[in-house]
């Protein structure tokens, strides 16, 4: 037995793709923690899509923002941190 299916995928022009682990909060209160000058900052974001692995951010982040993906669950805005690159 075979079936033809059509899968509709959310897309957004000019969305920045980040790890879904970087997006926190729910609904309209979504945000990312970004590192600026060694300090974490809470940055509100607008998420166009999230497939569980990657999320498309259409507002709130710039290409050169350093987004916290992993770290202590106790990490909060205002905390001093040292950013490291995630290995592939």
pLDDT in tens, the chain (88 residues): 777 665 555 566 688 999 999 999 888 899 999 999 999 999 999 999 999 999 999 999 999 999 998 877 778 899 998 877 776 5
In the chain, where the domains are located: 1-88
Please give the Cα distance from 28 to 20 (Å, whole number).
16
Q: Which of 23, 26, 28 is nearest to 67 (CA)?
A: 23
Number of neighbours of residue 62 by Cβ within 10 angstroms: 9
Q: Alpha-carbon distance 12 to 59, whole Å?
A: 11
Topology of 1-88 in CATH? 2.40.420
| pTM of the predicted structure, to 2 decimals | 0.78
């Amino acid at each position: 037995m075979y079936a033809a299916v059509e899968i509709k995928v959310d897309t957004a022009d000019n969305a920045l793709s980040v790890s879904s682990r970087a997006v926190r909060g729910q609904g309209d209160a979504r945000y990312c923690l970004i590192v600026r000058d060694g300090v974490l900052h809470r940055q509100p974001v607008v998420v166009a899509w999230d497939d569980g692995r990657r999320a498309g951010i259409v507002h709130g982040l710039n290409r050169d923002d350093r987004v916290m993906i992993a770290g202590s669950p106790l990490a909060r805005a205002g905390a001093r941190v040292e950013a490291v690159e995630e290995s592939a």
